[in-house]
Amino acid sequence: MDSIRVAIIDYELGNTGSVRNALDSLGAQVCIAKEPDKLEAADCLILPGVGAFGDGMDHLRRFGLVPVLDELVLGQKKNILGICLGMQLMARRGFEHGEYQGLGWLDADVIGMDSARLNLKVPHVGWNDVTASRDGVLLGGAGCRNSFYFVHGYHMVCNQAEDVAGVCNYGEDFTALVERGNIFGTQFHPEKSQKAGLKLLQSFLSFSCQGLRLCNA
């Protein structure tokens, strides 16, 4: 089979260049797109993101991407990986500078990290360990651990414990990795996490390839 086709969703609020470079190094066919036909043609999707929750949803709505993504992800079950803000937007609500409705793909809220209570600097910036809380696709079996690069001041709180696939500790445990069917998300930046990040992205691509083989069998 030809190399997998990956669409990075362009809503003008993501670090698309570094994500593309990482995927290029893995041999994927990559496009950066917001057009529905280009997203439809991809084998899997990546939703990157840098910035505030409300701005992220505003940009997705401005480009008419919410119904398109709902159809591709919830209707057609196309695999998607959300990165940082991209993962947070998959939640029902975000509470960054107000309350905002998210995509609602995960039963979760996105709340701020409390620097006073944690007695730590916020945002959380730098390398930190992520431990698999259960067997999963992206990180491996329960207890597997690797170090990734974080830049965030908000984090996801999942109401369904089974959605949490990995946790990180920064004063307390928080959700660093989610997996629910065809929906995946990382609070950290795999594209900035060197070998560990490339390995995780390869796991996502390999899982998506396996799904395509089953569909085409």
Catalytic residues, by residue number, are 84, 189, 191
What count of other Cβ atoms lies within 10 Å of the Cβ of residue 63?
15
What does the pLDDT read at residue 3? 86
Do 45 and 80 meet the contact criterion of CB atoms below 8 Å apart?
yes
Total-model pTM? 0.94
Rounded to the nearest 5 degrees, what angle is found at the Cα of 41, between the Cα atoms of 6 and 192?
Answer: 15
pLDDT tens-digit series, residues 145-191:
999 999 999 999 999 999 999 999 999 999 999 999 999 999 999 99
d(CA 56, CA 169): 26
Q: Position 83: which residue type?
A: I
What does the pLDDT read at residue 213? 53
Q: Say whether the peptide bond before residue 190 is cis (omega within 30 degrees of 0).
A: no
Rounded to the nearest 5 degrees, what angle is found at the Cα of 160, between the Cα atoms of 208 and 183?
Answer: 15
What does the pLDDT read at residue 84? 97
The alpha carbon dihedral of 143, 200, 65, 96 has a sign of positive
Residues in CB range of 142: below 8 A, 6 or more apart: 132, 133, 134, 135
Q: What is the CATH number of the domain that holds 174?
A: 3.40.50.880
pLDDT tens-digit series, residues 101-122:
999 999 999 999 998 888 899 9
d(CA 173, CA 167): 6
Tell me the CA end-to-end span of the chain in Å, nearest whole number.
Answer: 12
What does the pLDDT read at residue 1? 40
**Length in residues, the chain:** 217
Q: Which domain holds residue 43?
A: 5-216
* Domains: count for the chain: 1
**pLDDT tier for residue 217 given thresholds of 50, 70 and 90:** very low
